[in-house]
Amino acid sequence: MKKPLEGPAPGYICSDFAVAKRGAMQIRDAIEADIDEITAIYNEVLTHSTAIYNNTPATREDRLAWWRARRDQGYPVVVATNNGRIAGFASFGDFRPWPGYRFTVEGTIHIHADTRGQGVGTELLKHIIERARTLGKHTMIAGVDSENAASLRFLERFGFERAGHLREVGFKFERFLDLVFLQYWITSRVR
């Protein structure tokens, strides 16, 4: 069992992108009071896109259980806030739940529809990569629907590399979907 996180990590102020120009953006660990806004962002993405392979909106309790499980495993859930509102959230967890995968995590990131394309995702991703590095992780995986061009471009621009394309493994909106795996090296490749 991994050691749970001990309280929130210190937040930091970002100042180098559009959202910050209208008010300082802060990245900090999520707290229970954030769950409603996290749930709303998650459900907007779930309802309007194939970024999440699920048709059923999450309840507050679902997202609370997810947040608690991440914390119990020692993994962070972080939020970016802008003028007191949550602009996006990010996290990572085990890629696969077996000991041999312990140096590999899978990331997740969702930005509020009103705040996309303003650098929030990039700042959140930088933050969780550093958190994963602190936890001794070697590589981060992202699983992205093959039609999610914005997310693919976002991740590749950041430095993720395409590592696999699984055909018709997902099903949503009455059709099969392809999942693209991408990989980021947190520490240098050994081979």
Ligand X SMILES: CC(C)(COP(=O)(O)OP(=O)(O)OC[C@H]1O[C@@H](n2cnc3c(N)ncnc32)[C@H](O)[C@@H]1OP(=O)(O)O)[C@@H](O)C(=O)NCCC(=O)NCCS
Which of residues 5 and 119 has its CB atom nearest to ligand X in the complex? Answer: 119
Among candidates 2, 157, 147, 11, which has minimal Cα distance to 75? 2
Which of residues 153 and 162 has its CB atom nearest to ligand X in the complex? Answer: 153
Which of residues 181 and 185 has its CB atom nearest to ligand X in the complex? Answer: 181
Query: What is the CB-side half-sphere exposure of residue 161 using CA atoms within 13 A?
Result: 6
- The CB-nearest residue to ligand X is 121
Among candidates 82, 85, 86, which has minimal Cα distance to 23? 82
Rounded least distance, CB 151 to ligand X, Å: 4
Is 162 in contact with 181 (CB distance < 8 Å)?
Answer: yes
110 part of the interface to ligand X, by CB under 6 A: yes
Rounded least distance, CB 1 to ligand X, Å: 28
Pick from 4, 117, 136, 164: which binds ligand X (CB under 6 A)?
Answer: 117
Residue with tokens 């629907």: 145
DSSP string for residues in 48-62: H-SSSS-SSPPPHHH
Q: Could you say which residues in the range 137-156 bind ligand X, by CB under 6 A?
A: 142, 144, 148-151, 153-154
Dist. CA 105–CA 85, nearest whole Å: 28
CB within 8 Å of 97: residues ≥ 6 apart: none
Per-residue string for binding with ligand X, 53-92, x by CB under 6 A? Answer: ----------------------------------------
Q: Give the residues lining the site for ligand X (CB under 6 A).
A: 45, 51, 109-111, 116-122, 142, 144, 148-151, 153-154, 157
